[in-house]
Every structure is written in C-alpha cells, then in structure tokens.
Chains A and B, each alone.
Chain A
C-alpha cells in the first residue's frame, strides 16, 4: 500500500488533529459524567464542559472528513491536489480558529461576565446556542476555511475532469454541508424561529450532508478493502444517499412537533422520519453483502471498522432514533435522556467509526507500510464499542426512568435525576473510563503505525 500522489499526505495533518481532539473530547466527557453526580466537581461548569465535549467532536469528525476528502479526491481525479500550500494554510487556519474558540470557552467558564461584549451580533466568546456555540467571528472564519477547502478540491477535479460518482457525491455532500451552516448565522428575536433555523443546521448536517459524505466514503472504502467493483458500489451509493435525502429532508419535521410550529409537522415529521432507518439498513446490508462476496481482504482492520460503521450507523442513528420519533411517543420522551442515548450511539456508529475506518484504510498507504500489526486496532475497537454500548444502555435506562417518573407520574425533574437515576450516572462514568482506555489505545496505534519494525514475522521468544 502506497499513495499515488505526494499531496495525499496532507490528509495526515487533519488526522493527527482529529485524533488529538478525540482524546480531548473523551477526557472532558469523564468530567461531565462526574458532574452529573457532583455538579461543582470542576472549575469549569457543566455547560462549558459539554460545549467542549460536543464541539471537539464536531470539529474532529469534520477534520477527519476533510483529510479523507483530500486523499480521495486526489486519488479519484488521478492527479496532485490543485494547491498543497493552500491546503496547508487551510489546515493551520482551522487549527488556530478552533484553538481561539476553545480558549474563549474556558475564559467564559472562569468568568461568565466576559461574554458581555457583543461582536457581529453574538457574545464575543460564545453564541449561547447549542452545538453552534462558536461566536459569529469564528463562524465567518470557519466558512472561509470550508470555502478554501471546497475550492481546492473542485479545482483538483477540474484539472483532469474525472467526475467519478464517489467524488461527485462526496463533494456534493460537502457543498450541502457548507450551505447548511449559513441558516445558523443570523439572529432572530423569536426563540421559536431561532430553533426552527437552528434545526436546519443541525438536522440537515447530521441526517443530510454528513450521511451523504458517509455514503460516498463507504463506497470508497468497500472498493479499497475488498476490491469491490466501482460500477456496483456506486449504484448502491446513489440509492442509499438518495433515500437518505428523500426521508431525511422532510424528516426534519420530527424536530418541529413541540417548538411552537404548526400541527401539520406532526404528520410530515412522523411519516418521513419513520422511514429514515431504511437507507441506513440498506447501507449495512450493502457492506455485508459486498464484503462476503469478495474474499481478497487487503486491510483487515479497515474492513472491520467499515462494516462496524455500517452496522452501528443503522442501530444508533436508525433504531435508537426511530423508537422515539413518532409524535405519540415523542410527546413523552422529548427532552429526556432517551435523546442523549440516541445521540451517543448515532454519532459513534455513523461518524466516529467512519472516520476511524478511513484512517485505518488510508494511513498505511500514507506512511508507506505494506502490512501493520492490527492487534491494537482490534483492542481499541472492542474497548470502545463495548463501553459505548453499555454507556448507551445506561443512558437509555435513565431516560426510561425519567420518562416514566417525571413525565408520566409527575415527579420533580431534580428528584428523579438525583435519586432515582443515580446508579445509571455511576455506571455511565465507569463505562466512560473504559471508552477512554479504548481511545487511548487507538491514539497510541495512530502515532506508532508504520513506525515500528514490520510485523511480518512473529517476534522471537525471549531467551530465558
């Protein structure tokens, strides 16, 4: 495994940034888990820790996708990137922007009044809107960075004009991603309209643009790990991402049940979001069928992560979502820990495993190794996956208790959280440590891959 073009190495910068932020995300998650039991546990309040946890994740997944895209586009277009210096500049500009935003969050955590100053219409340190907490000046820099990234990739494609289905879909998804950041960049006086447009960003990213990117990368990975035929994987890719859009766009309606929006959204959201698991099921079936047909496995770790991504995308994003998507159910579960459980398994399956799979498939080529020791890759996979499954089960349990006691019986929120759900919080924190251990093994593997002696021969037994 070697890369065809020198500029594909740029992917490694993005991967390294992603791996470091993944570690940050999971370290702060332990703090957040402990704050559920001891709210005053840390110098920074829960809101800051949670912003760091989720923002770090969004940024590292995006960084991973960007790195993967530079790699894929260069390979699919059969040429060097249009401008490697620009890709480098875009990388470092992103790193600096993210670092400034993080420092801002921490400063605000220490001194909440520091966010009083207004700049371009939001607080200078924090916009105060979930997931898109980054202040407006940072939004603008992020948009510039994404535009430079898109320009570079499109110019690369134009060099040879080889519009393969995979890179067309990949860049299409990334363009939608860039456009769908814009509805989150203006102020409205009405909290109802605020949340309405906010869901354009959040839903049309994770259940729209990101799933298109996932579909395209899944097709690429299936070609890479088992040598599947382009014709076939591309056709299924179109079917999958097509169905994602047909169900997902109007599926946004499942966020418009109870936020002050008209009643017809109960029908639109209920019907279309119930169909959202179908394309994810086809993706999982596609991954299984394709990998069973081909017996030539060139990258076992990559194959493992690819198939697991497809399975957990369906289970986490599909099944754990559809259980509470009907208005009749959602009326009772909306805003409870059930949503948290869905969020955790969906992001782990759909995107964390996706980016890790891409890293395991492209990194050996970037580092120029033919084979690598996969034992750490499997170890980290099992530590992370088993821990995440139990984290999700504990939060699902907490959500069921909360739905029953608070929503159905009418007990107080705080009473349910501090008394009846305490054991779930304790167990969640314990499994969180297990997950952190898995991430640590992965990070070690990432930095050591290809830099150790070749594993072709089993190590000689030590002399007694």
Chain B
C-alpha cells in the first residue's frame, strides 16, 4: 500500500464512519422524547439548579459524573420526597454523618430539583441500574419472614435504614434499635416521627394499618 493510498483510506474511511454516526444520531434524537416523560417548566428549572450548584462535581447521574457521592438516577424513586427536600436544604440537620455541605439551596430550588430527579428516575435506561442479584436472590430464598419483616420489606425501610450491614445510610442504623427504644416510643414514632425527633425527615406511617404497625414494632423491639 502506498502512502497516498493509506492517507486516502484514513480520510475517506473516517468520513464514512462519521456519516454513519451522524445518521444514528439523527435517528436517536427522534426517539429520545418517547423514552422519557414530558419535560415540564419545573423539571427544566430543576435541571438549571443541578447545573448551578455543579452537583455533577460530586454525584453521578445516569452513571456519569464524579464518583464521590451516590448516583442520583433513581434517588427520587427510593427516598421520600420530604426527606429529600429537608436533606437538600440542610444535609447535616437530617443526617449528622452526611458529607454533603449546606449549599444554600432554597425551598423553591429544592422542589424544582426534586421534580427534575423524579423526571430522570422515569427515563427508560435499558434497565440500568440493574437490581443487585444477590440481594434479590436473598429476598426470594428467605421463606420464613416474620410479619414485621414483611412490613419492613413492603414499606422499603431498607432504602434508608440499615440492619446488620444491609440497607441505606441516610437514616439511623436499626441493628440494635430494640435496646435503645421501647415499644411505646417505636409505635408512636412510626405514626408521627417529628413528635419524637424534631429534626426528623422520615415520613409518618399513620396510613398503614394498626396491625402492620404492631408487627413492625415487634420486629424493631427484637433487634437487640
């Protein structure tokens, strides 16, 4: 192959692949809006807040960004909205161990940001992030769950709380909660968390049945 032929192969070959890339890009652009919910004014305002505070400087979203803090793609699906709002405005008031600084996010900005995070959690991402296979498998394998453990699962308590190393770190660790709190405190706290912990960002669970709350309390008391 002469040098000229090699050069032409480089130039025209690159152009060929670039044209294919542009065609795929045009096709993709036509399909994106159908794969995501509608973008409201609030969602767009939330995206601007995301940029304003350079959130991507610590977090990832859709898996892209800095790897210093948790991914935000599904956060709106996993955490209660009230919790998110309180956390965004003053992280350490909700979770003293939080690494996130208080940035001065206003109430309106927090609402917009949550609308944006809610939007992104409903984008069709080809199944990413995948459900953890071991945790999923464990949930199926453990047949003999107590009634309280079933409530703990169905209400997704593990999204925020940890028991024996499994679960979230945004709420307090519950591994030994039974030795710290009594039955009356736990039961009352489920119904109205703020009455017991003034700064609490946990939503109340008064809407689930008394029986379920009793079962859940049984489970908590047993954690010693």
Contacts and interface: CB of A to CB of B under 8 A. Distances in A.
Contacts of B33: 190
Interface string A54-66: 0000000000000
Contacts of A122: 51
A112 B128 contact: no
B56 A413 contact: no
Contact of A415 (B43, B129, B169): B169
B198 interface: no
Contacts, number: 213
B70 A261 contact: no
Nearest to B41: A189
A258 B62 contact: yes
A37 to B, nearest CB: 11
Interface string B3-25: 10011011001100110110011
B31 interface: yes
Nearest to B131: A410
Contacts of B29: 193, 196
Interface string B30-59: 011101100100011001001111111110
Contact of A112 (B66, B104, B126): B104
B166 interface: yes
A407 B3 contact: no
Interface string A75-117: 0000000000000000000000000000000001000110110
A116 B106 CA distance: 12
A126 B54 contact: yes
A259 B64 contact: yes
Nearest to A404: B134
Interface residues of A, number: 78
Contact of A235 (B6, B53, B67): B6
Given A231-B3, A411-B166, A196 B28 contact: yes
Nearest to A337: B67
B125 interface: yes
Given A128-B53, A252-B21, A190 B63 contact: no
- If over half of A's interface residues share one DSSP class (helix, strand or loop), that class is named, otherwise mixed; here it is helix
A32 to B, nearest CB: 8
B6 A238 contact: yes
B7 A238 contact: yes
Given A112-B103, A250-B21, A409 B7 contact: no
B120 interface: yes
B61 A129 contact: no
A260 B32 contact: yes
B182 to A, nearest CB: 27
Contact of A412 (B124, B130, B131, B168): B168
Interface in A302-340: 331-332, 334-337, 339-340
B204 interface: no
A417 to B, nearest CB: 8
A249 interface: yes
Closest 9 pairs between A and B when the two form their complex, measured CB to CB: A47-B57, A410-B135, A128-B51, A410-B132, A335-B63, A258-B128, A242-B10, A238-B6, A39-B99
Interface of B: 1, 3, 6-7, 9-10, 13-14, 17-18, 20-21, 24-25, 27-29, 31-33, 35-36, 39, 43-44, 47, 50-58, 60-71, 99, 101, 103-104, 116, 119-120, 123-136, 162, 165-169
Given A115-B54, A268-B24, 17 more contacts: A36-B68, A40-B101, A50-B57, A113-B104, A129-B56, A130-B57, A189-B39, A245-B17, A249-B14, A259-B125, A260-B125, A334-B63, A334-B128, A335-B63, A336-B67, A340-B67, A410-B166
Interface of A: 35-36, 39-40, 45-48, 50-51, 108, 112-113, 115-116, 122-123, 126-130, 133, 165, 168-169, 189-196, 231, 234-235, 238-239, 241-242, 245-246, 249-250, 252-253, 255-266, 268, 331-332, 334-337, 339-340, 406-415
